[in-house]
Amino acid sequence: MKNIISNINKAFDHRIRLGIMSVLMVNDHADFKTLKELLGATDGNIASHTKALEKQKYIKVEKSFIDRKPNTRYIATGTGRKAFQEHLDALEKLLHNSNDLGKKE
Amino acid sequence: MKNIISNINKAFDHRIRLGIMSVLMVNDHADFKTLKELLGATDGNIASHTKALEKQKYIKVEKSFIDRKPNTRYIATGTGRKAFQEHLDALEKLLHNSNDLGKKE
DNA sequence: TTAAAGTACTTTGAAATACAAAGTAAAATA
DNA sequence: TATTTTACTTTGTATTTCAAAGTACTTTAA
């Protein structure tokens, strides 16, 4: 490993994306409105952050109509789950392991 | 609590700032070059991220000369340590607690 | 002793990202 | 039928991130 943050995934740097992934790890899906409320974010915010995660193939979108109204539902992909888990492991290491300069690796 | 990420500190969203704080939590100080090497970042990068943390009073800077060369040393402040610990607690909660939509809070 | 190379940063300005306001389109309500 | 609400999407600005270039020395080497 070259540096102590090399396994921290840039895609999860932002708290809203962290929140979205964290919700989608425990629930097999969540819709636009739910994410918006859970995260206290604006519409445009949810739209752009989900789009970013989608672009990375970390989540996928399913559009349908529920009660005649459009519904956008987000689901974590296998790739996304794996990437997020690896990110969490990296975080764990960064935070609990020694970045102690006294120790040589 | 209004939303599940309300206690996540925006100042620590970025992996480089996360890394800097994490290093400064276990070591009572670290200098510019050390941070740069540990984090695999460029000079300008370290300069701007430390400046951001400084602006928040989360770290402080001590400038001196070591072997006739300028040396910039960073130290986490009490405020910074507290804020970072709270951030970690919030992360812990977000990641391990239930954002399970099946459960009402 | 001066020229070239290295060290330790800081500044800068372009590129990428984040944001909320405004826009769209259909549904519910009055 | 008009008005409001719901569920998003688009847009333009504002902010942030980034590394290249700049500054101010110090060290080495001729």
pLDDT tens-digit map of B75-89: 999 999 999 999 999
Closest CA to A9 of A99, A87, A100: A87
Rounded, the Å distance between the CA of B44 and C1' of C10 is 8
* The domain over range B10-92 is classified in CATH as 1.10.3110.10: no
Closest CA to A28 of A64, A71, A62, A54: A62
Burial of A103 (0-12, 13-18, 19+ CB in 10 A): exposed
Say which CATH topology domain A12-96 has. Arc Repressor Mutant, subunit A (1.10.10)
Res A68 pLDDT > 60: yes
Q: Where are the domains of chain A?
A: 12-96
Q: State which protein residues have CB closer than 7 Å to strand D.
A: A 31-33, 43-44, 46-48, 63, 69-72; B 13-14, 16, 41-45, 47-49, 52, 67-69
Q: What is the pLDDT of residues A2-51, one digit of tens each?
A: 789 999 999 999 999 999 999 999 999 999 999 999 999 999 999 999 99
Residue length of chain B: 105
> How crowded is residue B33: how many other Cβ atoms within 10 Å of its Cβ?
12
